[in-house]
Structure 1
């Protein structure tokens, strides 16, 4: 929200933690800056800092509207915040999804935990915690090959519905590829569909991360920041080569990003620009598309190949827990509906009359039963 709204904004910084929350007067909120700097020092990614900053901005907007100082927030303050987020309000033009709301509560809880450790803020964390058995840590010593134990949700945490992967059907994929006329955008889509890399991981590649000889790329994983090689299709490297031929030679040196904007002056092609590009493609074909849906589509394609094991797919997707990868084995709703519809159509088709069994007797059997023919 803009400065004139009187409830603050998030401003980018040139140094860690890269994002700052300011109040309506343009003054930096020191309590948030201290927490964000500590959050960055713990090794979290820049994208996580951005996410946390916007979650805290939403919380401080609520405090501003309720005329409550952050140090005097109580459980009822969090309750009112949740109720405001579950419907269109001054905090958001649309109701927040359960997953986004739970993330906001986790951020607010971490914010108060930090200040409580510094002996600042309220006496108790206003965000209710999950109830666990005394002396036991939830999911302690968890086997990553098993599902997490589902305990009772903490108060105000929303129930997140279990959804199928955001699969883009094959007919829609063909339509997307026919619509894209730019070599850069076509190469990006081909890499997403073949490598199953996250959008930010693929956009963060540099020139030396591409190895056309072995048909591999190297990406930095979002969570662990480990560098991992991923296979990609030959079509992806073909379109990448066509795209690189259109770039000035000075951009194709080691250390430079792979992806650039189309217009001069050239700038690195970031996530927001890639998402806007894919949204434009969806608008042209009259479909609601999400950039992350390409990764889900690649994962579902792999899961349908009997030659690939679940651990193979887990490795390619970069999942820490096998239970996360198993979510891609779910049947897509469109496929299930089509099969059931086919079943209903087959039931309405006329059935041929059953043929009776042929009435034939073996002569030797009759002789055995009745005697020979002379009798």
Structure 2
């Protein structure tokens, strides 16, 4: 049955087409551009990106927003719908498809252009999608879009259409991603959207509920095994600094050679949100591994200058180490244990270690981690999976011990013989 002149879509068999592209330009004025299937930039998206950059957003913000916009535009292009002609039914079907459909399988760049029969099948020893890892307890990446991904996408698209409604762009009349009337959300993505929803007390109609995540720490014994699986002094120095400073993974990669000050035992980083420069205290071991890495790298010919980046690739041509390469390095170390920890778990581990120290004030931990509010440390007061499971197992052991060795039954109360003799005259 048609809906507003459009046929009912068969979302069960719909496959998102691989058309269009989000491309990095290398231009600081427009770091990313979204291309239509014709190869031309999508002008409404480029104007939106320019507004984001003018609002002092990170250069990675257009990339994050662009992935959501590209997914939505591919959905519209598949049904030959212009972006400013999309209605609420289109937004509803898109969010329903993201909720129930399987994510499109990415083709490795080495296998692009190959016929399907030539593409190798996934390794048999890999865990099934969505199954909890036996070492970490964290679920592997599932076949469906995560609730956080869908929530981020809904917020980005609603913000995109609100931006163009304010500018009266094209033939756009209403936002296809409406606000719900009686739904409240304690937390949303983006400062602009968060402020708006705090004022109105409303959130997106199609926005899913996001489960609260419990931060995970890497146990000391497992951390030692991961550390032992690293292949170079550079990787050991990186891991030591991540756990010692609590810096985000990409923040540590912004350090220059002059930022590592051995005399003060600090390393300088550029903060992710504010982009302020901050010195972070680090451990002695981290600087030992750093010195070993630098001596080895300089002998090989890595550029040596105070203004040069601190972290470089291990092979020629020398390039500054980026986040994707660092993540690949840590994933290789994870494979030795069969674990699926992430680089951000190293930051959580550092936070737990600092908060476990009774002589470390939480306000200092907040400043080291770069959190805006002290209340953000409350997530580390929640019991971890290991704590809960360990406490539950200890309870069952105590119960079993009580059943096997019951405590002695106390004797029935009786009168004292000496007291009776005094009372009855020694009879």
CA drift of 1:154 comes to 2.7
Seen in structure 2, the aligned counterparts of structure 1 residues 150 and 278 have a Cα distance that, compared at 3 Å, is: farther
Q: Which runs of 5+ in 1 are unaligned?
A: 139-147
Q: Which runs of 5+ in 2 are unaligned?
A: 1-16, 107-142, 189-197
3-state DSSP class of the match of 2:289?
A: helix
Equivalence for 2:353? 301
After TM superposition, the score normalised by the length of structure 2 is 0.77
CA drift of 1:348 comes to 1.2
Alignment of 1:295-374 (within 5 A): 295-349=347-401, 350-354=404-408, 356=410, 369-370=423-424
Match of 2:219 among 169, 178, 203: 169
Equivalence for 1:271? 323
After TM superposition, the score normalised by the length of structure 1 is 0.87
Alignment of 1:1-375 (within 5 A): 7-15=19-27, 16-89=29-102, 94-121=143-170, 122-129=172-179, 131=181, 153-248=203-298, 251-349=303-401, 350-354=404-408, 356=410, 369-370=423-424
CA drift of 1:181 comes to 2.8
Q: Distance in 1 between matches of 2:267 and 2:337?
A: 30
Q: Distance in 1 between matches of 2:97 and 2:105?
A: 9
Seen in structure 2, the aligned counterparts of structure 1 residues 62 and 317 have a Cα distance that, compared at 3 Å, is: same
CA drift of 1:44 comes to 0.4
Post-superposition Cα deviations, 1:126-170, rounded to whole Å, max 9, x if no partner, equal 21125489xxxx9xxxxxxxxx99966431111111121132222
CA drift of 1:329 comes to 1.6
Q: Distance in 1 between matches of 2:251 and 2:341?
A: 19
Q: Distance in 1 between matches of 2:415 and 2:259?
A: 77
Would you say the 8 A contact 2:179–2:202 is kept in 1? no
CA drift of 1:279 comes to 0.9
Equivalence for 1:145? none
Post-superposition Cα deviations, 1:312-343, rounded to whole Å, max 9, x if no partner, equal 22222111233322112211112211111111
Aligned-residue RMSD, C-alpha: 2.7
